[in-house]
Amino acid sequence: MNRKLVITKLHNVRMFFFFEDTKIQAISCYEEDSLIGNIYVGRVSNVLKNLNALFIDISRGESCYLSMEDCPEGKKAPKVGDLLLVQVIKDKIKSKQATVTTKVSITGESVVISLDNKIGISKKITDSNIKTVLKKQLEETITEFKLKNDCESIPFGGIVRTEAQKLDIETFKEETIKILCELKDVINRSQYATAYSCIRINRLNELFDYKKYLQIDELEIVTDDQDFISMCMQNNLPLPRLFEDPMINMASFYNLPMIIEKALQERVYLKSGAYLVIQHTEAMTVIDVNSGKAIKGNNKSQALLNMNLEAAKEIAKQLRIRNLSGIILVDFINMKSMQDIVTLMTSLKEYVASDWVEATVHDMTKLGLIEITRKKVRKPIYEILKNT
């Protein structure tokens, strides 16, 4: 199978296009003005007790939402004017403000270090012995670091990431200490900072995703983005091949504008003649599977199952291509056979399981709708590109 990752900038947005045998499988977008991961000293501008929430200003005119449940435990409830160290976890979307948390964290390849006193481990690490060893190592490293650096009062916690199982213990420990030092430095600098100070800017989203792609066997990577090549050089990562063709630009060569155009359209046509209708609301994304004029022959039940299975596979792909997240409600073509419904549910779960972003297929409702939830990591493509 021919696999290719194409990296470029379109509409001032850096984009990754992942192909298998020339067919697009996933698209990732990285906005230059995204605040996700940035750490600020914010000022409480409003307390909404009835909503159990606060509004935190991270700059003049930039107000963010903070749930009271997300405030530091064991401390008095914040009041207007108080300064809090916060991290942006969701960019503002439409009329909704950005969301922040006081559980500040820094993510590495093998571990996430946070300020919440909790120790966890990736569910994708299934070997119980490896789980025990890595969890114990993380706990011991944090304890040793606190004692050595006289910072027992800092509520360091952490999560062992899936990548940790591929590393030797010493390498895992080294990265843990490195990130502990970075987070301690953030805390130290925040103590003397004024309101609206940006303590740390996160510019590594692209590189984390890039590292994931590097794990794919026989992957060809090409770019015309010199800035991205420079980022790879600065972080000692393998360099993509530079696209150099005097006759045509890279976007046209790979037909990227057409791919983007299709990713923004409501309808997605399937080989069988059926099609999907993908629509966005404030609360969720709704996907309707339509048979069109595709039903032929005497075995109608088998035809319906085949179309639904084809749609399920395409839906899993569209989640990746469009970066759909939150609640996705799918209305498949009605089937009477319970066995066919079980087959569809099983297949949909298998297709979604290959997603790098955490996604879950829930049970079918009484109305025959299937709910999918997908972790909100970044804005969907239609939100990023709607005004370009």
Any idea what the CATH number is for the domain that residue 305 is in? 3.40.630
Q: For residue range 71-93, what is the model confidence (pLDDT) as tens digits?
A: 766 677 888 999 999 999 888 87
**Do 296 and 186 belong together in one domain?**
no
**Could you tell me which of 372, 283, 388 has the C-alpha nearest to residue 332?**
372
Last residue of one domain, picked from the residues 82, 101, 120: 101
| Separation of alpha carbons 116 and 337, rounded Å | 48
pLDDT tens, the chain, 388 aa long: 789 999 999 888 899 999 999 999 999 888 777 788 899 999 999 998 888 889 999 988 889 999 888 876 667 788 899 999 999 988 887 678 889 999 999 988 889 999 988 999 988 888 999 999 999 999 999 999 999 999 888 999 999 988 898 889 999 999 999 999 999 999 999 999 999 999 988 766 677 788 888 888 889 999 999 989 998 888 788 999 999 888 999 999 999 999 999 999 999 999 988 999 999 988 899 999 998 766 665 568 888 899 999 999 999 999 999 999 899 999 999 888 899 999 999 999 999 998 888 899 998 887 889 999 998 777 788 888 875 5
**Do 188 and 143 belong together in one domain?**
yes
**Do 45 and 134 belong together in one domain?**
no
Q: For residue range 335-347, what is the model confidence (pLDDT) as tens digits?
A: 888 999 999 999 9
Last residue of one domain, picked from the residues 157, 174, 200: 200
Q: How many domains does the chain have?
A: 4
**Do 296 and 350 belong together in one domain?**
yes
How would you label 318-342 residue by residue, b for 16+ Cβ within 10 Å and e otherwise? Answer: bbbbbbbbeebbbebbebeeeebbe
* CA dihedral (131, 136, 137, 143) positive or negative: positive
**Do 165 and 213 belong together in one domain?**
no
Side chain identity, residue 8: T
**Do 240 and 315 belong together in one domain?**
no
Q: Is 17 exposed, middle or buried (0-12, 13-18, 19+ CB in 10 A)?
A: buried
Any idea what the CATH number is for the domain that residue 216 is in? 3.30.420
Any idea what the CATH number is for the domain that residue 117 is in? 3.30.230
Beta-bridge mates of residue 374: 326, 359
**Do 286 and 302 belong together in one domain?**
yes
**Do 173 and 268 belong together in one domain?**
no
**Do 120 and 223 belong together in one domain?**
no
Q: Do the Cβ atoms of 44 and 81 come closer than 8 Å?
A: yes
**Do 22 and 62 belong together in one domain?**
no
Beta-bridge mates of residue 370: 330, 364
| Separation of alpha carbons 163 and 124, rounded Å | 10
Last residue of one domain, picked from the residues 200, 216, 239: 200
Range of the domain at 16: 3-33+205-256
**Could you tell me which of 200, 238, 235 has the C-alpha nearest to residue 216?**
238
**Do 54 and 113 belong together in one domain?**
no
| Separation of alpha carbons 64 and 91, rounded Å | 9
**Do 289 and 380 belong together in one domain?**
yes
